[in-house]
C-alpha cells in the first residue's frame, strides 16, 4: 500500500514539472537543449548551429547566394580620411628600359681613346626609366627649365654616379686636392621648399637665375652632384679648376659653364657636375673640342632649349 502511494506521488510531481516547462533555476528547456546565455553573440551561434526558440534542433539550409560582378559592387560605407605620411618617401620601383626615347641632335662619335668596360675610369650609362613624363634624348635624361620630372619621381642618387665620383675624388686627392660631395639627390618636396625660400628672399626673377623650380632640378634626377662650397667662393679654387678640366674623364660634365646662362637658364656654377656616363661625356668633350668650346652644354649638344614655357 505504501509503495502504491509513493508511486502515485512521484508520478504527479513529474506531470507538474512537464506542464510548467521550467526547472527550479528558471532555465529554458527545449527538448533537452539548455541555453542559459541569451546574449546576441550566443543567439547567433545557436542559430548557426541549427537551434531555434521553442523548436527542435534542426539543420538550417544555407541561403542561396547570387554572384554579383565586381564592377557592379558599390561601396556603401564612408571612406576613412587619409592619414598623412610624414615618413621619408620610399624609392619608387620603376622598370628600367633600354629603349631610346628621343633622337640625338649631335653627330659626335665615341672617341678612340674613350675607356672600355675593362678600364678603371669607365662609367656605365645611367639607368633609363620607362615611365611617362620623363624626357630622354639618346638615353640621356633631360631636366631643365623646358623639361620637368614627375613629382613622385624618387630614384635617389644613382649608384654608378656615386662610384664614379669616388674615383674622381680619389684621383684628385692623390694630387693634394680636397673635393667632397656637398649635395646629391633632392626630392621634389625638398626642392619646392628650397626654391620658395629663395623666392621669398630674392624674388622669383632673381631666384630663377640660380635655383630650379620644383620638378625642374637635376638633383631630383639622382644624377647631379654639388661639391665643396655651393657658392661663388668655390670659383677659381684649385679644386674647381681641376674639376672643370677632368670631370669628363669620369663620366661627368660641368652642367652650367661660364657665359652660358642664356643657354642653360642658370648662372655659372663651378660646383655642379652632372653624370652622363663616360661614353656620352667623351662624345660631348670631343664635340666641344671640335667646336673650339671647352664646355659644351646638353642644350647645345642636343639642340634643345631651356626656359619655363
269 an active-site residue? yes
Q: Which of 231, 212, 213, 218 is nearest to 270 (CA)?
A: 231
Query: 218, 239, 269, 299: which is the annotated catalytic residue?
Result: 269
Which residues in 110-138 are b (16+ Cβ under 10 Å) and which e? eeeebbeeeeebbbebbbbbeeeebbbbb
Provide the pairing of β-strand 224-227 with 181-183: antiparallel
Q: Which residues pair with 253 in a beta bridge?
A: 274
The set of catalytic residues is 269
Amino acid at each position: 500500500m505504501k509503495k502504491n502511494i509513493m508511486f502515485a506521488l512521484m508520478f504527479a510531481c513529474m506531470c507538474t514539472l512537464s506542464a510548467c516547462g521550467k526547472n527550479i533555476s528558471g532555465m529554458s528547456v527545449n527538448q533537452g537543449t539548455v541555453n542559459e546565455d541569451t546574449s546576441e553573440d550566443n543567439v547567433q551561434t545557436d542559430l548557426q548551429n541549427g537551434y531555434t526558440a521553442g523548436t527542435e534542433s534542426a539543420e538550417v539550409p544555407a541561403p542561396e547566394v547570387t554572384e554579383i560582378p565586381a564592377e557592379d559592387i558599390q561601396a556603401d560605407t564612408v571612406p576613412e580620411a587619409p592619414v598623412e605620411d610624414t615618413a621619408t618617401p620610399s624609392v619608387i620601383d620603376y622598370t628600367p628600359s633600354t629603349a631610346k626615347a628621343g633622337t640625338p641632335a649631335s653627330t659626335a662619335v665615341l672617341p678612340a681613346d674613350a675607356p672600355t668596360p675593362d678600364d678603371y675610369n669607365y662609367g656605365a650609362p645611367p639607368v633609363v626609366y620607362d615611365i611617362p613624363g620623363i624626357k630622354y634624348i639618346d638615353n640621356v635624361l633631360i631636366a631643365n627649365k623646358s623639361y620637368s620630372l614627375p613629382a613622385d619621381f624618387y630614384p635617389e642618387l644613382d649608384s654608378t654616379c656615386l662610384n664614379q665620383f669616388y674615383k674622381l675624388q680619389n684621383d684628385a686627392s692623390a694630387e693634394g686636392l680636397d673635393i667632397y660631395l656637398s649635395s646629391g639627390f633632392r626630392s621634389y618636396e625638398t626642392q619646392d621648399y628650397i626654391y620658395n625660400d629663395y623666392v621669398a628672399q630674392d624674388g622669383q626673377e632673381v631666384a630663377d637665375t640660380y635655383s630650379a623650380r620644383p620638378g625642374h632640378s637635376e638633383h631630383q634626377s639622382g644624377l647631379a652632384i654639388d661639391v665643396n662650397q655651393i657658392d661663388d667662393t668655390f670659383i677659381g679654387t684649385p679644386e674647381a679648376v681641376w674639376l672643370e678640366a677632368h670631370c669628363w674623364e669620369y663620366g661627368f660634365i660641368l652642367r652650367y659653364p661660364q657665359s652660358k646662362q642664356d643657354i642653360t637658364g642658370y648662372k655659372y656654377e663651378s660646383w655642379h657636375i652632372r653624370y652622363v656616363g663616360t661614353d656620352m661625356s667623351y662624345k660631348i668633350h670631343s664635340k666641344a673640342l671640335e667646336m673650339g668650346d671647352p664646355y659644351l652644354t646638353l642644350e647645345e649638344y642636343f639642340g634643345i632649349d631651356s626656359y619655363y614655357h
